[in-house]
Amino acid sequence: MKTKLSQLAPGESGIIKEFTDLEMSVKLMEMGCLPGEAIQVERIAPLGDPIAVNISGYQLSLRKKEASTIILQ
Amino acid sequence: MKANLKVALVGNPNTGKSTLFNSLTGLNQKIGNFPGVTVDKKTGQTKLNAAQEAMVIDLPGAYSLYPKSKDEGIVLDVLVDPNNPAHPDLVVFIADATNLKRNLLLYTQVADLKIPVIIALNMMDLAKRSGIQVKVDELAAKLGIRIVPISARSGAGIDDLKQAIADANAIPLQTDVLDVNELAPAGMVERVQAQFKLANPYTALQYLHHYQQLSFLEARQTESLAQEVQQSDFNSQQLQARETIARYQFINEVLFDTVSSPDNPIQESYSNRIDHVLTHKIWGFAIFMAVLFIIFQSIYAWSEYPMSLIESLFIWLVNAVHDYLPAGALTNLLADGILAGLSGVLVFIPQIAILFAFIAVLEDTGYMARVTFMMDRIMRKVGLNGKSVVPIIGGLACAVPSIMSARNIENWKDRIITIMVTPLVSCSARLPIYTLLIALVVPDERMFGLFNLQGLALMGMYLLSMLSAVLVAWVMKYLIKARERGYFIMELPVYRMPRWNNVALTVYEKVKAFVLEAGKVIIAISVILWVLASYGPPAKFKAIDQQFASPAYTAKYSAEQITQLKASAKLENSFAGILGKSIEPVIKPLGFDWKIGIALITSFAAREVFVGTMATLYSVEGDASRMDSVKEKMAEARNPETGELVFTLPVAFSLMIFYAYAMQCMSTLAVVYRETKSWKWPITQFVYMTAMAYLASLLVYQFLK
Ligand SMILES: Nc1nc2c(ncn2[C@@H]2O[C@H](COP(=O)(O)OP(=O)(O)OP(=O)(O)O)[C@@H](O)[C@H]2O)c(=O)[nH]1
Ligand SMILES: [Mg+2]
């Protein structure tokens, strides 16, 4: 089972369950990444990092390192 | 309401605040399709109706009242400090109708500060196109405020908004969102309210969260807040997380039956399709390189004709001045000093306009955000951040606003390094120097019948400057200590068509500013230089007069030759000549003579002065009956001792490299000081860049010689 956002391939999606890092979680939550929200990986930058995700109707980019703090259901 | 109502435009980044500001005030704030365009507050006046005016304040965008970067901090400062000159009587909250949920987070926070607020629901055109439906009246009723749907870009709804501002109540009517007392350990909020005489609990809570960065608090007050926070076990991050979750819960409830969006928005997929190509694994970078390549080829290809037009206009003008004004010192000053200096820069208007137009288009379409996205990996490796791309590409135009735009970078170390290397990127003031020198030594031919060689050389200079910026950043990464963790979380806006009239207006304004700014400096420096180059120690000048009047000369040379020789000798012994000669030993290893030395010195006021200085020096010396352009004069310049051409390939390249690296811009140093609040950084920058310029020029000249 895939659990972290950083492990998803483009096109795959999941539901956010929780965060592993408080500092990152406050920054991500204010951008709309909340527990219970659906999140989809849209693409990966040409060099493999960062990634672009779709969250509550808009596109957000974040590094894999930040994505790995997001645990999916 | 009040006579001169203060209205602040608050909202998330990239929601159209500045677009609305421009339409309200008639001013021309910079607009771009990426988050973080506006980084400082700006005020203007608007007429609401026949009787009422209002002061409008454009602010940087923010995602919440918990600032992550310097520009977001400005919003917090303005909203929670009642004594701030920009503290508003009314907040117009600009919400992006296509992204309401995230936008409303900041709204609920602002609403809880209990400043009167109305919502301008922007981008209605986009919302309609992608099938998003907002029940405006129901939403307004739930929030307890007025909501005015607008499209700032087309101007739809602006009159309604003005009316709503004029009608707005002086007291806040918005519904409460949260019980603030639950967001801090018991009693804390009340204590702070009492101590600071704050009527509103949420403002008090903001004091507790941000006491370290609120610039208006006195040291004593900060101290007591710090104590309060320590004693009561106040965990800022945990409480912020709790608050954010609670607010989104409220927002979800409010939006549940007021906003409906189709499952697959049309706009989204259209933007996505473009991204498939522009951020493609292989094509992504290839296209980015091609874009840069096209820019530099166009700078050459499209500017040829208008440039020669301006050039001939000035030659005609100088001739006219000589023909119609009585001969004498003042005429010479006007023709050889001021006009020659001005023509040296004005002739580059076409090239600068093309460069600015391309940058404006890149910023207006949303492509800049994609470059940020693609480059983050590389930038991080060298101690920068994807977001550093914006100042670095902006640096192609001018370092001063670009250094300010680095405020948007959250991480302190990333931001400082960005500020330190941005002036290395070749700005538009260097363009005239490169163009002139390249035209002197690089043949105007085509490679493979396609690429203009001069265009390639120019692109080479630009690439070199960007590579150097990256390299220096990489070195600094090891020298500067980090203060906090770096991260990269950024919104990617949808692509938009550039608004051509806005691009045209931006180019016009930028060129105007360039001409006025550069013009002022050039006229001042030309006058000073002309005086310094025309006069010298009287005893020396007398000796020269006597020398050339002696039979030894009059017998050997014609009268015309003597005038020429005398002019050269006088220039060499003028005050300017003495100055140039005194630094000649230092710059000789770089291939520069004393005349170039004078240009180097004057260029420390601003680089634009180089071409003018060359023009002035060669005009003072030159034969007044033959009016050539600066380029022609420089092409024919010869070393009087050896008789060799002055501007050879090694000299020209050495000089270009010197200008590429040397820190010769007072405005940049001033803005670096302002942005870092310490002399340490501008001084470091000045020293490292100038040292680098000297060493690199030395290498180039000695190697090519
Ligand atoms: N389609 C559409 N686009 C708009 C509208 N209003 C603004 N825009 C575009 O949105 C983008 C952002 O506009 P700005 O006015 O720079 O936004 P801002 O809120 O000032 O952004 P920051 O200064 O970065 O916080 C630009 O590309 C505008 O052309 C609108 O009503 N409809
Ligand atoms: Mg703006």
The residue in chain A having the minimum alpha-carbon distance to the alpha carbon of residue B369 is A61
Single-letter code of the amino acid located at B360:
A
Which of B644, B659, B645 has its CA nearest to residue B697?
B659
Distance B255 CA to ligand 1 centre (A): 23
Which of B103, B261, B384, B487 best tests the A interface by mutation, with the highest count of A CBs <10 A? B487
pLDDT (mean) for B526-543: 84
Q: Please tell me which of the candidates A23, A34, A45 has its beta carbon nearest to residue B374.
A: A45
Q: Which is more confidently placed, B420 or B276?
A: B420
How many other β-carbons are positioned within 10 Å of the β-carbon of residue B378? 14
| B490–A27 C-beta distance less than 8 A | no
Residues of chain B with CATH 3.40.50.300: 6-170
Cβ-Cβ pairs closer than 8 A, A with B, add up to 111
Q: Which residues pair with B121 in a beta bridge?
A: B95, B149
Residue nearest to atom 9 of ligand 1 (CA): B16
pLDDT (mean) for B497-521: 85
Query: Do B74 and B93 touch, CB atoms closer than 8 A?
Result: no
For the stretch B192-223, pLDDT in tens is 999 988 889 999 999 999 998 888 888 999 99
Q: Which atom of ligand 1 is nearest to the CA of B126?
A: 1
Distance B38 CA to ligand 2 centre (A): 4
* CATH number for the domain that contains residue A32: 2.30.30.90
Angle, helices B201-210/B70-80, rounded to nearest 10 degrees: 140
Q: Which atom of ligand 1 is nearest to the CA of B14?
A: 21
Distance from CA of A31 to the nearest CA of B (A): 6
> Could you give the dihedral angle defined by the CA atoms of residues B49, B55, B59 and B63, in that order, rounded to the nearest 10 degrees?
-60
Q: Is the pLDDT of residue B349 over 70?
A: yes
SS3 of B131, please? coil
pLDDT value at position B3? 59
Q: Is the pLDDT of residue B692 over 90?
A: yes
- By the 10 Å C-beta count (0-12 exposed, 13-18 middle, 19+ buried), B242 is classed as middle
Which of A21, A26, A42 best tests the B interface by mutation, with the highest count of B CBs <10 A? A26
The backbone torsions φ and ψ at residue B438, rounded to the nearest 5 degrees and listed phi first, read: -65, -40
| Ligand 1 pocket list (CB less than 6 A) | B 11, 13-19, 31-33, 35-38, 60-61, 122-123, 125-126, 151-153, 364, 496
Q: Is the pLDDT of residue B398 over 90?
A: no
Distance from CA of A1 to the nearest CA of B (A): 26
d(CA B616, CA B227): 65
Is CATH 3.40.50.300 the classification given to domain B6-170? yes
The residue in chain B having the minimum alpha-carbon distance to the alpha carbon of residue A45 is B374
Share the mean pLDDT of chain B. 88
Indicate the pLDDT class of residue B629, thresholds 50, 70 and 90: low
Q: Is the pLDDT of residue B480 over 60?
A: yes
Indicate the pLDDT class of residue B469, thresholds 50, 70 and 90: very high
Instruction: Identify each DSSP E strand in B123-280 by its residue range.
Output: 133-134, 147-149, 259-260
Query: Do A46 and B279 touch, CB atoms closer than 8 A?
Result: yes
Tokens of B693: 């310029």
Q: Which atom of ligand 1 is nearest to the CA of B496?
A: 27
| Tally of structural domains, chain A | 1
Q: Which is more confidently placed, B604 or B56?
A: B56
| B491–A22 C-beta distance less than 8 A | no
Indicate the pLDDT class of residue B2, thresholds 50, 70 and 90: low
Residue nearest to atom 8 of ligand 1 (CA): B16
The residue in chain B having the minimum alpha-carbon distance to the alpha carbon of residue A25 is B241
d(CA B19, CA B11): 12
CA-angle at B594, arms to B589 and B598, nearest 5°: 115
**B216-220, B513-517, B696-700 — which is least confidently predicted?**
B513-517
* Domain that residue A58 falls in: 3-72
